[in-house]
Amino acid sequence: MTEVYDKDKIVNILNGYNIKVTPNRLKVAEVILNSKKHPSIDEIHTTLTRNGKNISFTSVYNIIKMFQSAGIVKEIKSKDRSRYDANTKPHSHFICKKCGKVIDIEDDLKLEFPKYVNSMKVDSIEINYFGVCNECLE
Ligand SMILES: [Zn+2]
Ligand SMILES: [Zn+2]
Output the CA 70–ligand 2 centroid distance in Å.
Answer: 17
Q: Are 111 and 125 in contact (CB under 8 A)?
A: yes
Per residue of the chain (138 residues), give pLDDT as tens.
Answer: 567 899 999 999 999 999 999 999 999 999 999 998 999 999 999 999 999 999 999 999 999 999 999 999 999 988 888 999 998 777 889 999 999 999 998 766 666 788 999 999 998 788 889 999 999 998
| Chain CA centroid to CA 87, Å | 6
Predicted TM-score of the model (pTM): 0.85
* Amino acid (one-letter) located at 96: C
Q: What's the residue count for the chain?
A: 138
Strand partners, 94: 103, 129
Output the CA 80–ligand 1 centroid distance in Å.
Answer: 13
Q: Are 92 and 126 in contact (CB under 8 A)?
A: yes
Instruction: List binding-site positions for Zn(2+).
Output: 96, 99, 133, 136
Output the CA 101–ligand 1 centroid distance in Å.
Answer: 6
**Residue 30: φ, ψ to 5°:** -60, -40
Instruction: List binding-site positions.
Output: 96, 99, 133, 136
Domains and CATH numbers, the chain: 7-85 (1.10.10.10), 92-137 (3.30.1490.190)
Q: How many CA atoms lie within 13 A of 20 on its CB side?
A: 1
